Structure formats: structure tokens, C-alpha cells
Amino acid sequence: MFIRRRRVAVTLVSSFLLAGGLIAGGVAASVPAAAAPAAAHPGARIRLPEVTIRLTNASQFCLNVTNNVDKNTQPLQIWTCSGAGDDHFYENTNTGCVEVVYCMNFEDIHNTGLCVEGPQTTGGNVALGACNGGRSAWYSTCLPGHLGNAFLGNSGNLSVSGPLQNGNQVYATYCTSPGGATWQNWTGY
């Protein structure tokens, strides 16, 4: 009799557990999946803001990859904004920046392994390069709209010389006051 009751008890407990699991599974299956994050494909990227970096007081000119050649060390220039991919970048927060609180990288939209990179020395040309902090990190610097390079500090402001025309090379130099022949005020990021 004792064995028979134990079998009945085990059978009842098993039945309740099984029923509870089916009910819980049914409830879980009916809950919208939006509450849980979807598994990302291994090659998927977080969608980053797409930006076009323009000269503030001459907004027809954009930062542009020279000849639309997306390779390491390719110089950057200004060019009449066209809406084409060679004047678009992804803005990505750079958490490794030690200069200021907020730094950003500008990734090449066609090759996200390349970023807008400052030169090794003040006065050098800005080009595409590795997205590894330092020379690829930019931040708001000396005056509103000025982009400073984290590697060069205040001597690495994104600059272009006038008179403005398509093909002028972009370089990094000391912060200057508005109104001279050096243009350093940018917008769009």
C-alpha cells in the first residue's frame, strides 16, 4: 500500500510539474518578444548616426575623402557637398579619450575600419587612418564648432585654408580666431 501511494504521489507531482511547465511555456510564448533583446548576427553593427561635416560659414563645402578612395592614409579635402558617400561618416563615441569628457570618431561610411585621423604633427594633413583612439579621436575644443584632435590637443584643430575651393586639403593646426584665412568652424556632427 505504501509503495502504491508513493507511485500515485510521484505521478501527481510529475503531472503538476509537467502541466505547470506547459502553462508557463504557453504564457512565455504568448508574451511579446520585444521585451527581450534579439540576438545579433555576429557581423551586425549598432546603427550609428550618419553625419556630414560642413564648414559652418561656407556650408556648401563638406569634409570629403579625396577621389572617393577609401584606404589608409588617403588625404581628406573639402568639396562641394553632394550627398554622395564620400562626404558621409558614422559618428561613434570614443570612450578611450583622455583629453576631455566626450570624444568621437568619424568612421568612413564605405570602410568602417578607417576613421578621420589627425596627423602626427601640427600642420600635417588629415587623412583616413586606424580607428584606435588618439589620432582618430576628436572633441569640441577652443571655440564653438572647432574640432580638436585628442592626440595633438589644442594644436590639432581641424582646419582648411582659404580662398575656399574644391580640393583644398584639410589639416590640423592651432586654434585661430574667426575671420582669418584659416577656416576651423564645422557643423553637422
Given a cut of 90, is residue 19 above it in pLDDT? no
Radius of gyration of the chain (CA): 28
Residue 40 pLDDT greater than 70, yes or no? no
Q: What is the pLDDT of residue 50?
A: 93
- Mean pLDDT on 148-164: 90
pLDDT above 80 (res 28): no
Question: What pLDDT is attached to residue 88?
Answer: 93
At 142 the pLDDT is 82
Q: Which comes out higher in pLDDT, residue 180 or 121?
A: 121
* pLDDT over threshold 70, residue 77: yes
How many CA atoms lie within 13 Å of 178's alpha carbon, on the beta-carbon side?
11
Backbone angles phi, psi at 7, to 5 degrees: -60, -45
Grid look-up 560659414 returns 57
pLDDT band at 16 (very low <50, low <70, confident <90, very high): very low
> Nearest to residue 103, comparing CAs of 169, 62, 150?
150
Is omega for the bond preceding 178 within 30 degrees of 0, making it cis? no
The values of phi and psi at residue 182, to 5°, are -105, 125
pLDDT at 99: 57
Partners of 104 in the β-ladder: 93, 138
Q: Identify the pLDDT of residue 177.
A: 73
Total-model pTM: 0.73
Report, at the CATH architecture level, how domain 50-187 is classified: Trefoil (2.80)
Q: What are phi and psi of 51, to 5 degrees?
A: -125, 155
For the stretch 110-139, pLDDT in tens is: 999 999 999 999 999 999 999 987 899 998
C-alpha cell at 161: 585654408
